[in-house]
Amino acid sequence: MSAIFLCARRRLYSGVNSRLPPRRLISSSNSPQGNPLVLAGTVPYHESYILLHTRQSPQTYPSKVPSKLQRTLQLLATQWGGIVNFSWSPEQPVHESTQDSWEQKDREEIYHLTAFSRYKGCLEIPEVSMDNLEAVCEQLQLHAAQSESTNTTQKLSKDVIHIYVCIHGNRDCRCGETGGQVFDTLRREVKARGLTEQVKVAGVGHVGGHKYAGNILVYPWGDWLAHIADRDVESTLDKILKMDPLLLPDPTTPPLWASHWRGRMGLDKESQLAMISASPSIGHTMASFQGLGHFLSRAPS
């Protein structure tokens, strides 16, 4: 049964106050879809990740967001390896002139912007619009560029960890349902641990790879994780907290969670595959997949 059909079926059943029979949950780390050599290499190459802050949750975004500013900024950001997306959380700063609806035609777009660079960490720009886009792009391009003084031992100015969960349900129901559950559970877990000042959790629009839901993006390092479910939230947060948020992203640092790792900011597909292949933590996992493949090859057709 396809994931899309299952999502539609669940909505239908919920509409008549019925419930689907419980399904046996299989850990993504031990299933074919959790194969690290399948996941790795699926993060598009980027040197910076740029987020425009909205007033509404990505769960309410239309399938394709009608934003002239985002499209224009994305076209320009491609020149320095930037990806542009939208983000939301109840706590993130929002420009006072940011509209609360996508439906208004010819509306003026103004956003608060957050950008991450593999070399310089997090950058906050309080206002971006079509009027100041050229000046903002100069800031972003400078922020994304490596300088002579940049090195992997340089410390960042803030020790804040940013976790973004794709919850763009109108683009794909898997992101809305699985991602939405992970988003809510992760926010509760961060609050329960008293980490709301150290760890910021927000929802984002489409990141690519619906079949990898739940997708989470962890910055300032830029590691992307896939197939994160409710049951994985505590382990995911534990692994994230072991990282040093003050260190610049280092392309040689081992994957955040090998069996769920899609890739990292600053690495192309070949580098991501090479890194996961060299990771000592995937030896047992790969042996499991090889054993499963051997078993399936001998199974009667």
Residues 6+ apart with CB under 8 A from 291: none
**Residue 102, pLDDT score:** 72
Query: Between vectors from CA 240 to CA 236 and to CA 242, what angle results, nearest 5°?
Result: 125
Give the pair of three-digit tokens for residue 236. Answer: 């995911």
Name the nearest CA neighbour of 120 among 254, 264, 222, 263: 222
**Residue 16, pLDDT score:** 39
Give the pair of three-digit tokens for residue 159. Answer: 């020790």
Phi, psi of 195, rounded to the nearest 5 degrees: -115, 20
**Residue 106, pLDDT score:** 73
Give the pLDDT confidence of 251-261 residue by residue, as tens digits: 678 999 999 99
Name the nearest CA neighbour of 29 among 232, 183, 177: 232
**Given 3-state DSSP classes, what are the helix, strand and coil percentages for the chain, each rounded to the nearest 5?**
40, 20, 45
Q: Where are the beta strands (DSSP E) in the chain?
A: 48-53, 82-88, 110-117, 121-129, 161-166, 199-204, 216-219, 223-225, 261-264
pLDDT < 50: residue spans in the chain:
1-2, 4-5, 9-32, 152-153, 287, 289, 292, 295, 301
**Residue 38, pLDDT score:** 85
